[in-house]
Amino acid sequence: MSVQIERHPLQEKSIPQVGIKANKIAQGESITLHNKTYKLPTRPTVVICVDGFDPSYLAQGIADGILPTLSQFVSTGFHTTAKCAMPSFTNPNNLSIITGQPTSVHGVAGNYFLDRETGEEIMVVDDSLVRGSTILAEMANRGVRVAAVTAKDKLRRILQRGLSETSTCFSSQSADDDTLKWLGRQSRPSQYSGDLSICVLDAGIKLLREDRADLFYLTLSDYVQHKHAPGEPEADEFMAAVDARVKQLVDLGAVVALTGDHGMSDKCDADGNANVLFLQDELESKFGQGCARVICPITDPFVKHHGALGGFVRVHVMDDHKDLVDAMLEFSRGLEHVEVALAKEEAAAVCEMPLDREGDFVVISKGNAVVGARKEEHDFGNLKGHRLRSHGGFSEQHIPLLMSTPAVDQAQLIKSREWRNFDIFDLVLNHGQ
């Protein structure tokens, strides 16, 4: 699938000058956003989103002894398995994490969508579709020094929403020369590398060491997880590097919490071939050319490692075929790769997504499969040499939720709710010790 990236004229907020201090934060002060209250941090507080953080990476890494820091979080801090927002993609879940809400509230339920009024397919690369404020922005408005550092520049343009000029917000993908010099790097890391994420963590460590922020949001890339399963050398090397940097953050005095934006599943058959349903081809074969448009919301500027193939698609039925919506929906339910197909109203309710931005129906694949549009629109060239691993469906909803310290009333707290990844700021700010 060809991806055209429009560059918006937004200025990157980079490293603030040394010496910027926040107003003194009084014990018990708080903000309220979307009917939830969050205490202002009274010590350095770091929230990390490990992109593609399937629980299997944590379990395998602990079993193999390569994650001593996260192992300690599990044994002496806080640990549970949470669920991410649907669809299980990057943009929706990063926004859910920084708003504390499902996509039905903040309005962004994909990386890519069809504007039904114009017929244009649009990539989400900034905050223009976001509804409401963020925890980061509200904290900054109260004098908390906020640092939001991301691997992907598309997320930087979202995370900077409402941040003040004294906040830090940049991406390792598009870090300017001054930022690279400050980090001691000669060049930007490749967007298709694990180093893109390690650069984010190194920036967080340096910001913390130089006392430039009180509240940190560090969000990584899932390039490694798309290519390498838990236990493979490349995955082990990456996860061990993450673990080592988390230790540095803890050693510098921060309370650290981690979660993921989504999990990751193998999407191949026993012979290693990608297990793909090209839904638009199937619909057009059954109902006629141009009957519908299948939109793959996983599509973003980073498509090489997954070929824009994920576990969740939206189907927009063309106006001259609207009488066939029910027939198309029922047909889709009968396809072997499909776990569930839901009409727009049911999809919005079950998946907590904004109804006004839904297609006519959604199709979600089984755990070992992905759904695409037309075969000709997906590039398989860069998938050679490794098994297709991807996400988007219910099967990738489970992710770890960890904190370096135990929670107040921890046993009761774990039992009292179904934890979501977007509860992480509530956990670390309201229940951390």
Domains of the chain, residue spans = 30-263+397-431, 276-390
Question: Both tokens of residue 351?
Answer: 């998946």
CB 20 within 8 Å of CB 232: no
> Per-residue confidence at 10, pLDDT binned at 50, 70, 90?
very low
Q: Which residue has the tokens 């599943």?
A: 265
Using pLDDT thresholds of 50, 70 and 90, give the confidence band for residue 414: confident
In angstroms, the CA 353 to CA 10 distance is 28
The pLDDT of residue 16 is above 60: no
Percent with pLDDT over 90 in the chain: 79
Nearest Cα neighbor of 368 from 390, 400, 341 is: 390
Per-residue pLDDT at 71: 98
Give which of 417, 425, 429 is closest to 80, Cα–Cα.
Answer: 417
Nearest-angstrom CA–CA distance, 72 and 368: 32
Q: Which two tokens stand for residue 328?
A: 């198309």
pTM, rounded to two decimals: 0.92
Is a pLDDT exceeding 70 seen at residue 12? no
Q: How far is CA 230 from CA 55, 158, 239, in A?
A: 10, 30, 9
Please name the amino acid found at residue 345.
E
CATH class given for the domain over 276-390: alpha beta
Q: What is the pLDDT of residue 4?
A: 30
For 272-286, write each residue's pLDDT tens digit: 889 999 999 999 999
- Structure-token match 């602990």, residue found: 62
- Per-residue pLDDT at 165: 84
pLDDT at 11: 38
Confidence at residue 7, expressed as pLDDT on a 0 to 100 scale: 31
Per-residue confidence (pLDDT) for residue 122, from 0 to 100:
82
How does residue 301 score in pLDDT terms, banded at 50, 70 and 90? low
What tokens appear for 158 in the block? 């979202």
Rank 119-128, 148-157, 334-343 by mean pLDDT and report only the highest: 334-343
As beta bridge partners, residue 92 has none
Q: Which residues pair with 389 in a beta bridge?
A: 266
| Domains 30-263+397-431 and 276-390 fall in the same CATH topology | no
* pLDDT band of 382, cuts 50, 70, 90: low
pLDDT confidence tier of residue 378, bands split at 50, 70 and 90: confident
Q: Homologous superfamily of 30-263+397-431 in CATH?
A: Alkaline Phosphatase, subunit A (3.40.720.10)
pLDDT at residue 139, as a whole number: 97
Amino acid at 175: A
Per-residue pLDDT, averaged over 13-23, amounts to: 47
Give the residue with greater pLDDT, 259 vs 411: 259
Average pLDDT, integer, range 300-327: 83
Give residue 216's identity as a one-letter amino acid code: F
Among residues 371, 309, 317, the alpha carbon closest in space to that of 340 is found at 371
Lowest mean pLDDT among 93-102, 155-164, 303-312, 384-393: 303-312
**Is a pLDDT exceeding 90 seen at residue 73?**
yes
pLDDT of residue 19: 39
Confidence tier at 328 by pLDDT (50, 70, 90): very high
